[in-house]
Amino acid sequence: MADPNDKMSADFSKAIEDWRKKHQLREDEPLLLCLELFRIHQEHWDALRQNALPSFSDFRDSLLQLQQAADAVQRHTIALIEELQKHPASNRFISPTLGGLLLTALFSVITGILIGKFIL
């Protein structure tokens, strides 16, 4: 089966040749050389794009794997929520002790003094 790009390339080449003859341009005209360089560039990037894009079957397989992973996460989440609902939440507030408050205040003062002496 013929590649459609070959037909487009042949048609393009014929159109360029007709245009060149119409305007009486030489073969080594800088504009034509720039056009040829552009065509080389386009062919290079078209080839890279063809290699970089996954096929539709690969894309479909990736979507199926994503769906399976999402289903597994959902199942584990539901199981976790059920386990958490089995255990009652403890809303009891534990007040700090006087010793804990005094130690926190003491460490804060010492830290402030050391920062003021060695850093500032």
pLDDT digit string, tens, across residues 73-109: 999 999 999 998 888 777 777 888 999 999 999 999 9
Assign 13 a pLDDT band (cuts: 50, 70, 90): confident
Least confident of 5-14, 19-28, 81-90, 108-117: 5-14
CA distance 113 to 5: 78
> Collapsing DSSP states into helix, strand and coil, what is residue 113?
helix
The domain segmentation of the chain, as residue ranges, is 1-53, 55-87
For 118, the enclosing helix (H) or strand (E) is none
CA distance 1 to 101: 84
Could you list the beta-strand ranges (E) of the chain.
none
CB 32 within 8 A of CB 16: yes
